[in-house]
Structure 1
Amino acid sequence: MGFAKGSWRRTVVEVREDLHREIRKLALLNDLRIYQLVNAILEDYLKDEQRVKALIKRLKL
């Protein structure tokens, strides 16, 4: 899993303890690998604009 090309903006996001535990159950990953995985999940999720908009609406953000 590599880093995509393009500019980077560093934003620190805390991963909830339960989500961190679930990720660790799937694979023994250190925090850097979890960071890469979370970025890949976000990138994949953001490809579906309607899904993101529905989530924003559901969370009332």
Structure 2
Amino acid sequence: MLARGCCRRTVVEVREDLHREIRKLALLNDLRIYVLANAIIEDYLRDEQRVKALIKRLRVEAGSTIC
């Protein structure tokens, strides 16, 4: 399980459509954007196989864009 309570402020570039969706969900559920974003990230990181598959997919996509 990931450590809670110890926070580090980090700036991350997020696509506009993703920001809009997270913001909408946070507002509809009376949550702060950072609370929802942290929960989404934490939940995703719990599934090691899903993370490995994502990294593999991103490497393939990055490799196909390099000329």
Same-fold call, TM cutoff 0.5: yes
Unaligned stretches of 5+ in structure 2? 63-67
Number of residue pairs the alignment of both structures matches: 55
Displaced runs of 4 or more, over 6 A: none
Question: TM-score, normalised on structure 2?
Answer: 0.63
The alignment partner of 1:28 has SS state of helix
Q: Which has the larger radius of gyration?
A: 2
Point out which structure has higher relative CO (alpha carbons under 8 A, 6+ apart): 1
Unaligned stretches of 5+ in structure 1? none
Q: Hey, which of these two has a bigger chunk of helix by percent?
A: 2
Question: TM-score, normalised on structure 1?
Answer: 0.68
